[in-house]
Amino acid sequence: MNPSKLKDKVIIKALSQTTDSEGTVIDSYSEVFRRFAEVRPVRGREAYINDQFLAEIDFVVSMRFDGDTKNINAKHEIDYKGRRLRLIGEPINVENQDKELRLFCTVYADGR
């Protein structure tokens, strides 16, 4: 992993569920930690569904593998420049060397 490529600051957030006074479950994300990473857009597409355009962008996020990042799973999301990147599948420990973690993420252009 080339450290000079880790130029982007990302915030890793974990899903937490709480209940309100009426017993309704509310999902929210809270910050777990911050890291420098390389965030690369790899694909963008647009579909016309139900009389509206749906734009989606896929990203690859690479960061160092450490004690915190090894616990990232599908219940986490990444905040990158105000965008909520959702994980697609489980993170990949590149070549099982415990040096680099690669995450595949997607974001809808409308912010969903």
Q: pLDDT by residue (tens digit) across 64-88?
A: 999 889 899 888 999 999 889 999 9
Average pLDDT value over all residues in the chain: 89
What token pair was written down for 34? 């911050």
In whole angstroms, give the CA distance from residue 81 to residue 6.
15
Higher-pLDDT residue of 50 and 101 is 101
Host domain of residue 69:
3-108
CATH number at residue 86: 2.40.10.270
The tally of domains found in the chain comes to: 1
Residue percentage of the chain with pLDDT more than 70? 97
What token pair was written down for 86? 């959702």
Mean pLDDT over 7-23 rounds to 91
Whether 99 shows a pLDDT value over 70: the answer reads yes
Cα-based distances in Å from 31 to 10, 76, 88, 94, 99? 10, 10, 19, 25, 23
